[in-house]
Amino acid sequence: MKVFCGRVNPTTGALDWVEEDEDYDYHQEIARSSYADMLHDKDRNEKYYQGIRAAVKRVKERGEKAIVLDIGTGTGLLSMMAVTAGADYCYAVEVFKPMSEAAVQIVKANGFAGKIKVINKHSKEVTVGPDGDMMQRANILITELFDTELIGEGALPSYEHAQHTLMQERWEAVPHRATVYAQVVESHRLWSWNKLLPLDLDSGRFQPPPEMQSCPGAPSVCDIQLSQLNPCDFKSLSHIMVTCRIDFSQQISSATVSHPMNFSCLASGTAQVVLSWWDIDMDPEGTINCTMKPGWLYPSGHTVPWRDHWMQCVYFLPEEKKVVQRGELCLTAHQDDYSMWFTLQNSGAEENASNERPVCHCGAHIIWNRPRFGELNDQSRIDKYKKALKKILTPSSVCLCVSDGSLLPLLAHSIGAAQVFTLEYSSMSQHLMEKIFQVNNLKEVIPVLQKTPDKVTADDLGDRKVSVLIGEPFFTTSLLPWHNLYFWYSRTALSGVLSKDCTVSPVSASIHILAVEFKDLWRIRSPCGSCEGFDVRIMDEMIKKSLDFRELREAEPHALWEYPCRALSDPINAMTFNFQEAVPGDVMKSEGSVNLVRSGMCHGVVLWMEYQLTEDMRVSTGLLGVSEEEGDCQWYPHSKQGVFFLSSVTELEPSSMKPCTSVNYQLTFSPKHGDIQMNFSSKF
């Protein structure tokens, strides 16, 4: 059965109706999920298996049958581990129907259908009794309900319910306990992802609105691969502290609770950020431990387990706080049923911060994501735009900016343009920009037009023609780098209000490509035919059902500063878009090959956009540099790049097989649909 889905095209801005299979979204969700990553997480799987065997042994030693409840079974892997370890019966609960169907097939394929019952329900809906889902209560509770924040997937309410209604009076839990850690740091890099910082302009100093500076920020945790953050990017103001311990073998409560931690400050500075992670003990003695600590806490030479399904947390304090060395402070972790947040005050001071979860009240944290804050605060990038605008603006320029939430209008005004307008698609973004302009006494000077480009008329511009059209370009609806070609479509729709000799900046945009070897990221798309001796090939089939015909012709967005990779080729310009002209009617095509110049495993191709601001100035949203010897890549940290994973990994090294020497590419840009079809293949 086919269904039609309405989607706003991020490149053209049009509403497209797309025909899809009715189960397409399910397969997409599975394909883009972390199931493959979890199955490849050898450290996680080994620790779970050891913990499950120990729990089954403890129950058997008490002379009891081992009845297992596995909540959030996913592939059924942990249930199969339990039966292999000697469990008498296992109830595997999975609320996501396509995943539970996969689990049924995987359990059957491995010969466990008689001992594992897959239940397609939320655990809170599971019943016990002769006519229920479970014949009896369980005495071993196995779960993998954790996310980077530990409790963000609803682990606490699920435990609370299960322990009251689905477990016997005495039970074993795997994992047995979790410990959450926190460290207070000063980090201007991280803080720039949370607040809009002041900016020096030619006409004076730009100040963000006070309500933006006092706003507690986005309520969601910032999860990143903290191992890739250079220790030079932060200053430790506290030792690593234990925030809380949760014993899963005891009665769990999901009620809101606070955990105060007193500490003596290690150095003078500005407390801005709390770094946090957790570990889990699989047994009561704590001898089987699985930790999420960042790589720089491991001993030199120690192998650091890589995982993308569990990372580390960055929490932003509600406001910066100046601290002095040896000063006595109290960091309080607040926890509700789904999230955590932190407040900081002097030791002994009365707690005056609200125990309620922080919520953005300035609007900026709703409109802009954290990388966008970082981009707006990127001084080197701002300087490039300043230089470019100084080359193209004159005292008589009528300037129009087309980008979401851009500071370019401020730069253009400070440089001396006669009139500056800016275009915002949403009313929320319009109000935010008007607040920013108002604080800087520019609300009446820089009109904010809340319109789509095709609706802008000469009346909106005071019966004047635009002589300079500018953009970053950046749009909040963009997921992949080339989605920002919406600037080109806007420029085309605005043709009626542009002067004949209108200057457009950027002048052009180009897609650049690079063949790479990933250190770890390749694992998320690597086949997972077996795991810990169990056949899970059905997962590959489900992923391929979605990926073979769609994803293998598409790129995925990834913030590559978090995922180390080596350049196996030199970067090349694969396709250029001329913003001086309107969007053409004909399809644009480009094909060629990327020669591999370094040895390694070619896992895929990275794609990004570069913008030519003027004839001699450009900005990149992707590759910033490559080390000469090893080819290690440095990526722009405030944008995601596109990653096209090759369907088969290719090798460039002397071996028994002929090595790959290049990667062929074909790019086809369809102006009508605003998308880029791509194909990459290895050449031997």
Instruction: Give the range among 179-188, 267-276, 543-552 with minimum mean pLDDT.
Output: 543-552
Report the alpha-carbon distance of residue 254 to residue 335 in Å, rounded.
Answer: 9
Q: Is the peptide bond before 175 cis (omega within 30 degrees of 0)?
A: yes
pTM: 0.92
The answer to whether the beta carbons of residues 357 and 422 sit under 8 Å apart is: no
Give the pLDDT confidence of 207-231 residue by residue, as tens digits: 999 999 999 898 889 999 999 999 8
Q: Which of 397, 420, 396 is nearest to 408 (CA)?
A: 420
Alpha carbon distance 114, 124 (integer Å): 24
Distances (CA, A) of 441 to 88, 376, 413, 486: 73, 20, 12, 30
Q: Among all residues, which ones are annotated catalytic?
A: 144, 153
pLDDT band at 525 (very low <50, low <70, confident <90, very high): confident
- 469-514 tens-digit pLDDT: 999 999 999 999 999 999 999 999 999 999 999 999 999 999 999 9
Q: Is 62 helix (H, G, I), strand (E, B) or coil?
A: coil
Q: Is 680 exposed, middle or buried (0-12, 13-18, 19+ CB in 10 A)?
A: buried
Instruction: Residues 508-683: name the CATH superfamily.
Output: Hnrnp arginine n-methyltransferase1 (2.70.160.11)
Backbone φ and ψ of 346, nearest 5°:
-70, 145
If we measure between CA atoms, which residue out of 198, 213, 194 comes closest to residue 365? 194
Mean pLDDT calculated for residue range 595-623: 95
Give 281-334 pLDDT, tens digit per residue. 999 999 999 999 999 999 988 999 999 999 999 999 999 999 999 999 999 999
Q: Which residue has the higher pLDDT, 22 or 56?
A: 56
For 33-174, which CATH class?
alpha beta
- pLDDT at residue 421 greater than cutoff 50: yes
Half-sphere exposure of 595 (CA within 13 A, CB side): 1
Choose between 652 and 163: higher pLDDT.
163
User: What local confidence, expressed as pLDDT, does residue 15 receive?
Assistant: 59
- For residue range 233-266, list pLDDT tens digits in order: 999 999 999 999 999 999 999 999 999 999 999 9
Question: Which range is least confidently modeled, 5-9, 130-134, 332-336, 424-428?
Answer: 5-9
Question: Which of 293, 285, 257, 287 has the alpha carbon at shortest distance from 180?
Answer: 293
- The yes-or-no verdict on residue 539 having pLDDT over 80 is no
Q: Which residue has the higher pLDDT, 177 or 660?
A: 177
Q: Cα angle at 188 between 607 and 271, to 5 degrees?
A: 140
d(CA 141, CA 431): 50
CATH code assigned to 378-505: 3.40.50.150
- Specify which residues 277 forms β-bridges with: 181
Query: 299 is written with which tokens?
Result: 């001993």
Q: In whole angstroms, what is the distance from residue 191 CA to residue 194 CA? A: 5
Q: Quick one: which H or E segment has residue 624?
A: strand 623-626
> What is the reported pLDDT for 498?
97
Calculate the dihedral angle through the C-alpha atoms of 576, 581, 582, 586, rounding to the nearest 10 degrees.
Answer: -50
How far apart are the C-alpha atoms of 631 and 47, rounded to whole Å?
Answer: 35
Compute φ and ψ for 304, nearest 5 degrees: -100, 120
Q: Which of 147, 148, 172 is nearest to 162 (CA)?
A: 172
- Residue-wise over 91-115: b if at least 16 C-beta within 10 A, else e? bbbbbbebbbbbbbbbbeebebeeb
pLDDT value of residue 195: 95
CATH topology (fold) of 178-355: Hnrnp arginine n-methyltransferase1 (2.70.160)
Write the pLDDT tens digit of every residue in 108-122.
Answer: 999 999 999 999 999
Helix (H, G, I), strand (E, B) or coil at 551: helix
Q: At 82, list the tokens.
A: 């339990």
On whether the CB atoms of residues 197 and 209 are closer than 8 A, the answer is no
- C-alpha closest to that of 184 among 344, 312, 324: 344
